[in-house]
């Protein structure tokens, strides 16, 4: 694992670099649910000072990817059914409000159409390849509001969504054809200005995704 030369960066740059590398590993499932992450281990792995390692860990605690209880060693958040439900309810609240605004002006983000076209071009079954364009589709709906704060809030939730998915990365979830069809129905409702229908279709879409994640979490793997 490549060290990060502190002499070449200021302290903030070092902390952000370590945080980014750890975040990538956590969201890729390389650091698993419940696995401890000590300051000493991070310091040694990336060749940085203990205070920098500690600051990086605290950033990930604040982001909801790590948890630290009563000053104990930080661990990757353990994803369970309650966590999935809460994360997806939060997504639904933010995205439903966005769809209602977009429906009022019948605004269809071009980036949402492009992201869904990528999914439509994929084989119809479940695939990890759908994750990125799927999340880009939903992010495009939020970004179309033009609110920096709303976008920032939403992206903090997306880290937890990716963490949920990382726990079941090799399990069968929603198929590409199902995702693409549901996305298209949502956009059609926005285009005709039917905000209630758009919000309902979104709720159904996110509910089915959440239930698939929960099923994968609670069903023993092969």
Q: pLDDT digits over 45-85, tens only?
A: 988 889 999 999 999 988 888 888 777 889 888 888 898 89
Task: pLDDT band for 131, please (50, 70, 90 cuts).
Answer: confident
Of 219, 221, 192, 208, which is closest to residue 84 (Cα–Cα)? 208
Domain positions in the chain are 6-76, 81-218
> What letter does residue 79 receive in the DSSP assignment?
-
Average pLDDT over residues 116-145: 92
Locate 125 and state its tokens: 């079954």
CATH code given to domain 6-76: 1.10.10.10
CATH classification for the domain delimited by 81-218, as one of 3.40.50.1980, 3.90.1170.20, 3.40.50.970, 1.20.120.530: 1.20.120.530
Query: Of 2 and 200, which is predicted with more confidence?
Result: 200
Q: Tell me: pLDDT of 172 over 90.
A: no
Separation CA 42–CA 81 (nearest Å) = 30
* pLDDT at residue 8, as a whole number: 47
CB 94 within 8 A of CB 151: no
pLDDT tens string 16-43 = 899 999 988 888 778 888 888 889 999 9
Using a pLDDT cut of 90, give the percent of the chain over it.
48
pTM (predicted TM-score): 0.78
> CA dist 218 to 84, 118, 210, Å?
12, 30, 12
């Amino acid at each position: 694992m490549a060290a990060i030369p502190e002499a070449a960066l200021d302290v903030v740059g070092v902390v952000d670099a370590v945080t980014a590398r750890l975040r990538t590993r956590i969201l890729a499932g390389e650091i698993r649910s419940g696995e401890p992450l000590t300051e000493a281990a991070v310091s040694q792995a990336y060749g940085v000072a203990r205070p920098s390692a500690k600051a990086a860990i605290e950033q990930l605690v604040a982001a909801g990817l790590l948890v630290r209880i009563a000053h104990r060693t930080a661990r990757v958040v353990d994803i369970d059914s309650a966590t999935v439900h809460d994360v997806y309810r939060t997504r639904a609240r933010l995205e439903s409000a966005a769809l209602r605004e977009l429906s009022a002006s019948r605004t269809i983000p071009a980036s949402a159409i492009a992201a869904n076209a990528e999914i439509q071009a994929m084989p119809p079954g479940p695939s990890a390849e759908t994750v990125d364009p799927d999340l880009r589709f939903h992010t495009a709906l939020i970004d179309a509001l033009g609110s920096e704060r709303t976008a920032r809030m939403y992206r903090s939730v997306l880290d937890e969504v990716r963490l949920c998915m990382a726990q079941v990365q090799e399990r069968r979830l929603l198929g590409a054809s199902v995702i693409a069809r549901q996305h298209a129905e949502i956009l059609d409702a926005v285009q005709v200005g039917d905000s209630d229908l758009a919000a309902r279709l979104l709720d159904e879409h996110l509910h089915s995704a959440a239930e698939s994640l929960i099923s994968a979490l609670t069903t023993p793997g092969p």
